[in-house]
Amino acid sequence: MIAIVNYGMGNLRSVQKALERVGAQAEVIDTPQQIASAQRLILPGVGAFADGMQHLRERGMVEPLRSYAASGRPMLGICLGMQLLFDSSMEDAPGADEPVPGLGILPGRAVRFQEDQGPGRPRLKVPHMGWNAVDFLPKSPLFDGLNPGDHVYFVHGYYCVPDNPADTAATTDYGQPFCAAVHRGDVWATQFHPEKSQRVGLQILENFANARLVAG
């Protein structure tokens, strides 16, 4: 059984239906106790970083999520769920030196795409929405069965910058190369939406449901 965390900011049913399509059992959970007892966990998310953290705090989920991530059980963050795993985000930050604190499970922070790419370069549309080719890095069992250049679906205005480059599990390009997925131990996360990424996304969810994910 895969537990999908409901903290008021996720496309829960889409994730659940995608998991069911690959033969996985999934349930939506909404209490700290259910997080503590889960054996495989997905943290989805759509919306603003500060709101996401506020919702997690109000539901008493912050420490249970940190404890779960440290337990060695598989965990997958999706979109905002990936960003929340990091130390902080610049989204809605009161100042350049005052990022909004996150869960602190992964070192690094989320920063905003810059529309102005410099002289002679086209302005970016922010948020970034649409299909991008992704390079999956070696020894990434979450991406077994996929090929470099496979396309996945993104909807986001901010992207994660891990402090440790070794935490990056996939990259893509939007104005510049950026981190599209991360991996540390049994904690995985994708900036893109597997549940909206058709064949490629279903393969990722199937790998998460069935495989032992720690690389190496």
Would you call 193 a catalytic residue per the annotation? yes
Would you call 79 a catalytic residue per the annotation? yes
Catalytic residue among 55, 79, 91, 179: 79
Beta strand segments in the chain, E = 2-5, 26-29, 41-43, 75-78, 86-89, 100-101, 106-112, 128-136, 150-156, 158-162, 168-173, 177-184, 187-190
The answer to whether 56 touches 62, Cβ cutoff 8 Å, is: yes
Residue 85 token pair = 């795993």
Residue 35 token pair = 């997080």
Catalytic residue among 55, 128, 193, 206: 193
The widest CA-to-CA distance across the chain, in whole angstroms, is 54
Catalytic residue among 91, 160, 183, 195: 195
Q: How is the beta sheet containing 86-89 ordered, strand by strand? A: 100-101, 86-89, 106-112, 158-162
What gap in Å lies between CA 45 and CA 210, rounded to an integer? 22
Give me the active site residues, please.
79, 193, 195
